[in-house]
Amino acid sequence: MRRHLLLICWCLALAEPTAAAPFVPVDDAQVLERLPFRPTDPTVRELRLLHAQLILQPDNQMLAVAVARRYVELGRVTGDPRYAGYAQAALGPWWHLAEPPRDVLLLRATLHQRVHQFDFALKDLALALARNPRDAQARLTRATVLQVRGEYEAARQDCEALKGLTQPLIALTCLTGVNASSGKLRDSYRTLREALAHHPEAEPSIQAWMLAGLAEMAARAGFAHNAEQHFKAALAVDPADQYLVAAYADFLLHSGRAREAQELVKMHTRADGLLLRYALALKAQGSTSTPEVVEELRARFDASRLRGDRVHLREEARYELHLDADPRTALELAKNNWAVQKEPADARILLESALAANDFVAVRSLQAWLAESHLEDVQLTHLLETMHPGG
């Protein structure tokens, strides 16, 4: 009994919030923070100039849209959500309108998509397409949102509708992306690869997009060697693209190349998703600094929970499963995440945590979904095989 009492006291002590320790630095030269860009960086300088003009004429819609687009793109490349906020601020005068101008509508949809408010995004995109069914960018964005939600048939229709509205390569990449997730993985891969080979003149950004798609398809089909090449080629076009870095890191981790994964992401650990991969890579190598990094990751998730964010569910589930050894919590998060988005990576973490938590109801319902959608993925197949050895 005394021991129990001791335990209780100990727990009460732990339950107290740990006191932060603010301090007064002693040295004026001490660097406290590094900004993501130097103010002299040409991208930032140009953006600041535009922004300064916008402050003088906040109702200049064209300027506002240009500034917002810049920030949205910066947010995509850096994975830093602050830029989404800056973009929203630039669009301030139009942001709350029920029927804003077309450009604002599309940017608003993209920003909503980014925080996983897919319903809002789809509403805005439907509005844009009702105004102009030939709006290629709205079509493409909607196809992507629908694909992320696992609504392949609807996504395919939007990709089909792109034909004749924009460069054939864009329509093709859209379509192969959807088809690759709904039963035609290998065919789509071949089609996309041939298209890329036949269009060396395509703009680098579109090439990078195609390469990223190829890399993921190859990884899912189990063509490890090809996937490797595609990832490298895509990263050669855009080495800072954090989405690509994350996808490549996952590929390396899954291939048992933790050391390389660690090298790949170590410069990008400001992004929570990449810090996660960093921690996973350390753990896979049995590094002694794993607990420290895991602790930092936990602090980040705690902080984002405090502000009520639900954007990190997939990453948080991976953290709970692989770094916190809590399959039940992982499964709960993975289920909540699955209710919002249904990419192959979402299916993977759902299956992994359902298996780890021995929740066969969840496993069976995911299996049913996979059978219906025809989503192919070697990792998923492998996981299901571990459940039914030889079956």
Partner 1 sequence: MQSKGICMTCRSAICRGALLAAFLLSFADNALAHKASDSYLTLRVVGPEVTGQWDIALRDMDLAVGLDADEDGAITWGEVRNRHAEVAAYAFAHLALAADGNPCPAAVTDHLIDHHSDGAYAVLRFTAHCPRVPASLDVTYRLLFDLDPQHRGLLQLDYAGRVRTAIFSAESPAQSLILAEPNWLRQFAEYLNYGAWHIWTGFDHILFLLSLLLPAVLVRTGVAWQPATGFRATLLDVLKVVTAFTIAHSITVTLVALNVISLPSRLVESAIAVSVVLAALNNIYPLVSERRWILAFAFGLIHGFGFASVLVDLGLPRAALLSALVAFNLGVELGQLSIVALFLPFAWRLRRSWVYRRVTVYGGSAAVATLALAWLIERALDLRLMS
Min dist. Cβ of residue 225 to partner 1 (A): 24
What gap in Å lies between CA 133 and CA 340, rounded to an integer? 26
**Residue 126 binding partner 1, by CB under 8 A:** no
Q: Which of 33, 56, 201, 390 binds partner 1 (CB under 8 A)?
A: 33
In the complex with partner 1, the residue whose CB is nearer, 74 or 218, is: 74
Query: What is the DSSP code string of 310-371?
Result: -S-HHHHHHIIIIIS--HHHHHHHHHHHHHH---HHHHHHHHHHHHHTT-HHHHHHHHHHHH
When asked if residue 246 is in the footprint of partner 1 (CB under 8 A), the reply is yes
Residue 163 to residues 62, 136, 173, 211, 264, Cα–Cα distance (Å):
28, 9, 11, 20, 37
Q: How far is the CB of 46 from partner 1 (least distance, A)?
A: 7
* Residues between 84 and 103 with contacts to partner 1, criterion CB under 8 A: 84-86, 88-89, 92, 95, 103
Tell me the C-alpha distance between 298 and 107, whole Å. Answer: 32
Window 138 to 177, contacts with partner 1 (CB under 8 A): 140-141, 143-145, 148, 164-167, 170
Supply the minimum distance, in Å, between the C-beta of residue 263 and partner 1: 18
Q: Is 306 in the site for partner 1 (CB under 8 A)?
A: yes
- The number of C-alpha atoms within 13 Å of 160 and in the hemisphere containing its C-beta is 7
Site for partner 1 in 194-223 (CB under 8 A): 203, 205-206, 208-209, 212
> Can you tell me the distance from the alpha carbon of 145 to that of 122, in angstroms, rounded to the nearest whole number?
8
In the block, residue with structure tokens 């939007």:
158
3 sits near partner 1 (criterion: CB under 8 A): no
> Which range of residues in 136-144, 221-229, 253-261, 368-376 is near partner 1 by CB under 8 A?
136-144
Smallest gap, in angstroms, from Cβ of residue 183 to partner 1?
20
Interface with partner 1: number of residues (CB under 8 A): 104
Does residue 270 touch partner 1 according to CB under 8 A?
yes
Out of 53, 60, 73, 257, point to the residue binding partner 1 (CB under 8 A). 73
Dihedral over Cα of 115, 117, 118, 120: its sign: negative
Terminal Cα distance for the chain, rounded: 51
Among 79, 278, 354, 379, binds partner 1 (CB under 8 A): 79
